[in-house]
Structure 1
Amino acid sequence: MTNYNGISPDLARFVGFNNYIRAFSDPNVGEAAARTAVFVLSYVPLNFLVALSLALLINAGPHVRGLFRSLYYLPSVIPVVGAAYIWRALFNQDTGVINTALRAINPSWGVAWFSDFATSSLVSMSLWLGLGLGTVMYLAALQNVPVELEQAALVDGAGYFSRLRHIVFPLISPVAFFQILLALIYALGVVVEPILLATSSPIAPASVPNDNLLLPVYTYQQMFTEQRFGYASALLWITFAGSVAITLLLFATRRFWVHSESGNL
């Protein structure tokens, strides 16, 4: 509720709710919130589908379960800065491995991945970073599904997807809810990844492509680039309130799809 610039506390002046009024009338905030929604709606379902699919594949081959579990979990222990450098080495327009391979086929080929496909690049890197934990969690849940239930359904003529829908998923739904919640919280707070994909230093976030200018990134710019700490703090509170509302909405839906042996959720 001040116009604090982050440097001179003595010059800070109380402005009441002006920062919040400004935030709701700022078109950049609305656009950044819309881009954040697009990222959330892209990342969360893909994280669920890909992690669960990988866990199902690994669970089907018990002899190599330990090897693949380690391989898929490896990206989770790589720092986000290292992952960003890997992605820049792969997708750089001039020197990236992928564009080099494309130009070997046709010299005129070369894609500006971080500008023309900025959101896709960000989602792919975020998925790579987050798949390890999700896959391991789903795999642990799948190993606790009673085999006799699937065998009984198989004898009754149930197909693979029918068993997956009516037996496997209800039994692993508490883990699925937990993983979806983690993915949602992560997606609502992404700020470092877009900056590192655009520049080698988080000190200079101004070059972030417009498609990756999510609400947390816009807030970061307002705070550390524009030195509008009061306004950025108001944006943080608005983001926090929105995140809480979305999280509560997710909790409200769990009684429709999360299975509990006790019946109490």
Structure 2
Amino acid sequence: MFKKNRHGIQIKTSEQLGKMRAAGLVVGRTLEMLRDSARPGMTPLDLDALAEKAIRDEGAVPSFKGYQGFPATICASVNDEVVHGIPTDQRPLRDGDIISIDCGAILDGWHGDSAITIAIGEADPRLTELMRVTEEAMWRGIAALTVGAHLSDVGAEVERYVRSQGRYGIPPEYGGHGIGTEMHMDPWVANHGKPGRGPRLEAGMCFAIEPMVNLGTERTRVLADDWTVVTVDGKPSAHFEHSVAVTEDGPWVLTALDGGESRLGRRPDGQITSEGTAGH
């Protein structure tokens, strides 16, 4: 049975959260393998093959492959590609590129979804800073996922941090989402807005928090493949994402190998450590 609250948001039991954690770990381990593997001369299609093998070797199924016709296991978005890039072998990765890798897996009927942006070789310091800002914005949003908070608090924290760091673009039409028995579920989670609005958060809710931040303006367009989103001004973009459960003790990062311990004071099993307080 899958319980939903009055806003139609799925509420998971502790047992179901355990299954989501298992799916999340498949994704987390796959992304760490891809981070270690990516190098100049490889193609996004090479990374896609590695990801599919890793996911299937763990008894899971790639979430993305075949989803609304998407042809690959990962989304691989290079430089000015914001999200949803289709992996190909047409252009090898070069020293100085950045690539956003978005990955999802289904295990025992439950989904995990996460993304990282990595530098290939030595990246321009401006790109390194773009990646740092985007990842930190994600963690600021994750920390807002506490029982009793409002959903819009997440986007407010993401936007507040990004705006405090310089002139970056936050594409308003892209954001996070609920996750559970489906990869994309209600509600949509904006990366901008005012706090104190929308549904109140309850233990057992799960969300994919995923800021996308552009080095230039917020404006984007979709290429002729009907998937790949690029910046209009041709400037690079970064993307980070984690799947997160709301618990009575604070957010539990299901796709982080340490459960969020290093950033939120959570052990991998979701319990709070003595050194930290979840959500802060």
Question: What TM-score results when the alignment is normalised by the length of structure 2?
Answer: 0.27
The structure richer in helix per residue is 1
Higher relative contact order (CA 8 A, sep 6+): 1
TM-score under structure 1 length normalisation: 0.28
Which protein shows a greater Rg?
A: 1
Instruction: Please state which structure has a larger fraction of its residues in strand.
Output: 2
